[in-house]
Chain A
Amino acid sequence: QQPVQSPQAVILREGEDAVINCSSSKALYSVHWYRQKHGEAPVFLMILLKGGEQKGHDKISASFNEKKQQSSLYLTASQLSYSGTYFCGTGDYKLSFGAGTTVTVRA
């Protein structure tokens, strides 16, 4: 079953922060986060595994709450390069992806 992402879209000014949420009705083994620029391939950002650990990629970090069956992606001090659509993927051997959150960072 497809995870649910929120919000659908967010507009930021450079330097602002944002949070993207991904929740599932099923128990999560892991959560994968990807970013896709328009017309390009999704690029893998990070994977969160069972255990609630927080991971980071530059100033983008994420947390994973198994009990709540959700993950959050944190964009800190956003840069223009952070613009794109962010997807979360959940599952065991094959992934189901959320509908995506479009992030626009303006100067």
Chain B
Amino acid sequence: DGGITQSPKYLFRKEGQNVTLSCEQNLNHDAMYWYRQDPGQGLRLIYYSQIVNDFQKGDIAEGYSVSREKKESFPLTVTSAQKNPTAFYLCASSTWGLAGGKNIQYFGAGTRLSVL
């Protein structure tokens, strides 16, 4: 079955700790994205990557880091610099290069991060 797998489903972070959220896709998509979702605020883009070994900051990249060493994988690290990390994190993937907004994004089931 093709899809996007995020793990873990729930994650707890202690003060001063970095934590890494996993995202894997087997849709053969070039582009991958990380979003943060807070109640009433919709989806805000953290980082995105159009191709392996390249990624771009989104609207709220501060306190986060990513890597894209393989096409299938796009892990997100929430660093200790992110002072308010409690949120629902969603990973998505899509084709890239179809102009006119035709790249449809498909989402994983999300990781809920809480601070201890």
Q: Which A residues are closer than 8 A to B by beta carbons?
A: 2, 28-32, 34, 39-44, 47, 49-50, 87, 89-100
Contact = CB atoms under 8 A, between A and B. Distances in A.
A20 B26 CA distance: 33
Contacts of B110: 39-41
Contacts of A87: 42-43
B40 A44 contact: no
Q: Is the interface of A mostly helix, strand, loop or mixed?
A: loop
Nearest to B101: A30
Nearest to B48: A94
A17 to B, nearest CB: 24
Contacts of B96: 93
A41 to B, nearest CB: 4
A49 B100 contact: yes
